[in-house]
A and B are shown apart, each in its own frame.
Chain A
Amino acid sequence: MNKWFGLADCNNFYVSCERIFNLPARELPVVVLSNNDGCVISRSQEAKDMGIEMGVPAHKIADSINKKTLMAFSSNYALYGDISSRVMNCLNDLCPAVEVYSIDEAFLDLSLIPTEELFGFGIEIKRKIAKWTKIPISIGIAPTKSLAKVANRYTKKYHKEKGVFVIDSNEILEKVLTETPIESVWGIGRKYGKFLKSHNINTALDFTKLPESFIRKYFSVVGIRLYRELKGESCLNLTEVEDKKKAIQYTRSFGRYVTTLSDLEAALSTFASKCAEKLRTQESCANVLSIYIRTNPFSKKPQIYKNITLNFDIPTNGTLEIQEKVLFGLRQIFVEGYDYKKAGVYVTGLVPNDAIQGNLFSQEPDVKLQKISKLMDLVNAKFGKDTISFAVQKSKTNWQGNAEKMSPKFTTHWKDIPKVE
């Protein structure tokens, strides 16, 4: 039986989330800024048409924002995380099997769908996701995962209005591969793109025309898998995270009241390293991180509950990376003058280690950090917990002034839910 894979990808995801409840944002070019309002991380089509590039520093577009010809939002990960899980759950309702690949992408197993119905099925998924979640998606469908990824890119570039594209014949396959530059193939990346170009391999089609011996000589097993997948032979299956935990948390009440930032930093970095350890044990990486701190609700002293949700640029299970993010978050929410009694770290949006979007050939994005984490796990397993841990450093960054343009947490905070008349 033929295998069929779909890749569903949310269009301009963060911007699309902002546009659900902010109606004027539908009529203007919109960008979403990174943590600290540093640079552009998501752009609406209109913003792309204005020539705004990905990663542009915010100050370079300040003029357009002030003139109100461009709308900018600080990143609101509580909203994006919630909308993402809605989209993924809806896909799950509609498709036989789903692999959540990143915050805005999922692989679909469509093998049960008759070939001639694939396009219509894709259109129906797209229509329902738009109606149910208000998020526009594009779907690429092909006989292998790598080709589904290629098809998805092709959809966005050449079949935007329909939003669905199926690679279901050799002629179409050849045409699509010809129009796919080698460096935009899933997992090739800039470094290998350059290398291949220097060998006059410019498109995905050129790559598939190479003799397998060439691939064996210069690439790892991962490269060979990609080569075969691009030729239409399915080597990668859907990885479902079913039996693994979907979220990991570590929360504790403190033995005594904690009042200073540095004590909370120490506690939360410990929690962070526990979460990272658990993640590595189940071979998952997290996309989203939440932390909270609270006072004792039974004491008569002033009460406070603070939480924050942040997103990792690349899913991670590295102790250092998770700690860094936790400490960053803590500094955003910490208020002095309270007796804190309980705190927690919560990671979610889990994806399997081997499904991480990075570079297939150079493996994970930060091999060094991974090695450190693995080593720590080994030492701690052998000589007892916390034999090795990171010294918590204070950051010199001044966090003030960031997230100025944050939209309300429409779907996760009672006081922020949309108002209607």
Chain B
Amino acid sequence: MTLNYDGEIQFFSLNDCDIIELNKYLMPVECGTSATGFPSPADDYVDITLDLNEFHGVKKHTCYLVEARGDSMIDAGISDRDILIVDTTLDYRENDIVICSLNHFYMAKIIRRVQNKLFLISKNPNFQPVEIQESDDFRVFGVVKGLSRKFR
């Protein structure tokens, strides 16, 4: 199973090199292939699929994937090169990690209101909070709902 350039999961079947292309994250759980005539009680559930979109509670058309760079959010569990799952439909709440743009840069940060000022907070003691000035172009792109990481 490999990830191809389209982000689809491909399964290479054994008898030829034709590729069965499935929807992103879709994993069929196969069980109970019985050639002996006695059907497995699990056969009824053969079409159950586990879908990571469903697990993260995102719809494909309102979810964007972005890649984390650096370790400014390391204490929130986000490492360099993690793929962040961003939902654009949510209204952000206190302590949400958001993808936002401050002037010309996209970043993953926590927004915190202190008295009447807004700050962008990193989750790493080496990073100072950044105050959002009135003159800044600041926009929230979406809320980070989860992440994906490869170990090998």
A415 to B5, CA, bound (A): 8
Q: Does A218 contact B (CB under 8 A)?
A: no
| Minimum distance in angstroms from B86 CB to a CB of chain A | 9
Complex contact A414–B7 (CB within 8 A): yes
State the CA gap A372–B18 with chains docked (Å). 34
Asked if A412 meets B88 with Cβ closer than 8 Å, knowing A297-B17, A417-B66, A421-B108, the reply is no
0 or 1 for each of A225-262: is its CB under 8 Å from B? (1 = yes): 00000000000000000000000000001000000000
A421/B72 in contact, CB under 8 A: yes
**Closest CB in chain A relative to B127 CB, distance in Å:** 10
Q: Besides A89-B61, A418-B106, A419-B67, 10 other CB < 8 A contacts? A: A89-B60, A90-B61, A305-B4, A418-B67, A419-B69, A420-B68, A420-B69, A420-B99, A421-B106, A421-B107
CB proximity of A100 to chain B, nearest CB, Å = 13
> What is the CA–CA distance of A327 and B62 in the complex, to the nearest angstrom?
34
Q: Is the CB of A417 within 8 A of B101?
A: no
Once the chains are docked, how many angstroms separate the CA of A411 from the CA of B6? 9
Which of A108-116, A127-135, A161-169, A355-363 has 4 or more CB atoms under 8 Å from chain B? A127-135
Given the contacts A86-B61, A86-B62, A414-B3, A420 and B107 also touching, CB distance less than 8 Å: yes
Tell me the complex Cα distance, A318–B104, Å.
44
Which residues of A sit under 8 angstroms from B66, Cβ to Cβ? 417-420
| Docked-complex contact A23 and B69, CB < 8 angstroms | no
Q: Are A24 and B104 in contact (CB under 8 A)?
A: yes
Question: What is the number of residues of chain B that contact chain A, defined by CB distance less than 8 Å?
Answer: 36
Min Cβ gap B55→A in Å is 20
B1-34 at interface with A (beta carbon < 8 Å): 3-7, 12, 16-19
CB neighbors of A among B59-113 (8 A): 59-62, 64-70, 72, 83-84, 88-89, 99, 101, 103-108
User: Would you call A153 an interface residue if the criterion is a C-beta within 8 Å of the partner chain's C-beta atoms?
Assistant: no
> Is A370 interfacial (CB-CB < 8 Å)?
no
Q: How far is the CB of A18 from chain B (nearest CB, A)?
A: 15
A24: chain B residues at CB < 8 Å are 104
- Using a CB–CB cutoff of 8 Å, the interface residues on chain A facing chain B are 21, 23-24, 26, 85-86, 89-90, 93, 128, 131-134, 253, 296-298, 305, 307, 341-342, 411-415, 417-421
B residues less than 8 Å from A89 (CB atoms): 59-61
In whole angstroms, how far apart are the Cα atoms of A419 and B64 in the complex?
Answer: 12
* Distance between Cα atoms of A134 and B61 in the complex (Å): 12
A420 touching B61, Cβ below 8 Å: no
Q: Is the CB of A23 within 8 A of B105?
A: yes
B106 with A23: CB separation less than 8 A:
yes
Cα A296 to Cα B65 with chains together (Å): 29
Asked whether, in the complex, the Cβ of A132 is within 8 Å of the Cβ of B62, the reply is yes
